[in-house]
Structure 1
Amino acid sequence: MTETPAPLRQVRPIALTGLIPAAPTTGAPICEMVDPRDLWVDPAYQRSVGEKGLKQVRRIVEGFDWAKFKPPICAFAEDGQGQSVLKVLDGQHTAIACASNPHIETIPVMIVEAPDTQSQAVAFIGQNKERLNVTPLQIHFAALAAQDPEAITVAQVCDRAGLRILRSTPKVYAPRDTVAIAAINGLTSRRGAMRARQILEVLAKAELAPVTAPHIKSAEYLLTDPEFRETLYPEALTECIQAQEMTIDDEAKLWAATHRVPVWKAMASIWFRKCRKKRRPA
C-alpha cells in the first residue's frame, strides 16, 4: 500500500509575544555573478586554510554540484592601496574550491553592506558563531577585530600575564603559547580581569609549552579555593609547575584514572602535594 505523502507546509509567521523585532540597519543583500578568483580574504578575522580545510576544498571540487552550492557572503571594502575589492565574509572554502575548479568561471555571491573591518568581523561572527566547524579561536580573533569589549579584555589579560594566544594549533609550541581560549574566557568571566591575570601569570612564568585548559583550571582551583589558597605562594606554585612540566600530564592521567576524578583536579592534587607551602603561624 502506497503511503500518502505529507502535504506541503506553507511558511507562516510565528507568535512574537515578548519579542521586539529588530529593524534592519542596512540594505538587503544583492546577488551578483563574480569570478571567484577576484575574491579576497581578510586575515584580521579569518584564518588561512590549513590541511583540514584543504581536504574540505578538495571534497567540494571533486563533488561539485550546483544543487549543493551555497553562495558565499561578501562585502565591498578597500584594500591597503585604496582599491575596491570584494571580501569573503563567509564561504571561504567554497570560493577557493570554485576558483580551483576549471569548469567554474563565475559563481553567485550575496553582497551585504559591511564597508570596514570591524563591521565585516561582526558579520563573520554572526554567520559562524553557531557552527560546529568554527573554532573558539576563530571567533575570538573575529571578535577582537570587531572591537568586542570582552574579547579585548581577554587579549589584554593574556598580554599582561605574558601569554600568547595563537591563531591556530602549531606543530611545535613555544613556552607561554596557548590555544585554550575557551578556558581563558571562562576564567576571566568568573574571576574578573585582575584575578585572571594573576592566575595566568603563574602559568606563564612556569614557561609551559603550551598552557592548556587543564593547567588553567588546576591553577584557578588552587589559587581560589579556600582549602588551598591560604597555604600556597604563587611563586612557589610556579616553581612546582615548572619542575613537573615533563611528567605532569602522564601523572595526572594516571591519578585521574585511579581516583576517578577529572584530569584537572588530579593535576591540582599533584601540584599541591609537591608545592612548597606557607608556614602556619605558631
Structure 2
Amino acid sequence: MLVQLDHVRKTYGSFTLELNMQIPENQIIGLIGANGAGKSTTFKLMLGLIRPDQGSVEIFGRNAADLGAEEKQEIGAVFSDSGFSEYLKVQQLIPVMSRFYPDFQEKEFRERCERFQIPLNKQIKEFSTGMKAKLNVFLALSHGSRLLLLDEPTAGLDVVAREEILDLLREYMEIPGRSIVISSHISGDLEHFCDDLYMIYEGKIVLHEETDRILEEYGFLKVSDQEYEALDKEYLLRVRKEPFGYSYLTDQKNYYLENHPGIVVEKGSVDEVISMLVKGERL
C-alpha cells in the first residue's frame, strides 16, 4: 500500500477533517469536493506538512512525518496555489531541480517542454494559466516519482489543456508500481480517468466507490407516490422531490430494472450521483 490514512482526524477551529483512505499501487484515485471541503488538507497530511490530531498517515509503509530525503524524492506534488517564483525562466529551474532531485530527468523534461510549447527562456509570469499548469505537472513528473499528489492541477483550464494534462498522466501510469491521487471540485474531469473516487463533504468522506461501479450500478428511479409504495426500498439511498413525483438514488440499478420493469430507471453521471448524496434527503 503506497498510502494509508487510518482514522485520521485534523481540526482547524470549527472545521474537522475525518479520513480513512487507502491508495494501492497501480491506481488513479480521485478526490472530489467543493472548495473548503478538506482536499488540500488531505494532501498536506499525506506529505507530512501537517500532523494529524488523531490517527496515522503512512506513506510507503512509514509515518509520513518521518520520511527521509530519498523517500520524499519518490513523491511528485502539485498544489494549485504554489510553485516557483514567476520571475524565473524555465531554463533557470533545471539546475535547481537537478540539485534537489538526483534523479531529475532533464532530457525528458526538455522534451515535454518542447512538445507542449513551453518556452525555456521566458519568465513564468508571462505564461498563460494553462502553460503554468502544464509546467507544474512536468516538474512533478521529472524525477521518477512513484506517487503523484495533484491538488486541482486542471483548475481554470480549457477542455483541450485539461485533456493534454490527463494524457500525460496516463503515460505516467504505463510504468507499473505507480499511483496518482488527483483532486478536483469538478467531478466530470475525473469521471473517465480515475479507478476509484472519494467524495469529501464538509470534512467527511460521504462516498468511496469504484468509478465504473458508479457509472454502471448507480441510478435514479423516477416514480410517483403510488409506484413508490410498491417498491422494495432496501437499496434506496436518497430521495428528492420532483415535479412529476420523486427521484430516488440507488446503488443497485439493475435490481430495480429486473424486479420493477414498469418504473423509469435512469443512469446518472458522477456529478448527478454526488449531488444527490449531498443534497438529497436520507430515507
TM value normalised by structure 1:
0.30
TM value normalised by structure 2:
0.30
Query: Comparing both structures, which one devotes a greater share of its residues to helix?
Result: 1
Higher Cα radius of gyration: 1
Query: Comparing both structures, which one devotes a greater share of its residues to strand?
Result: 2
Q: Which has the higher contact order (CA 8 A, sep 6+)?
A: 2
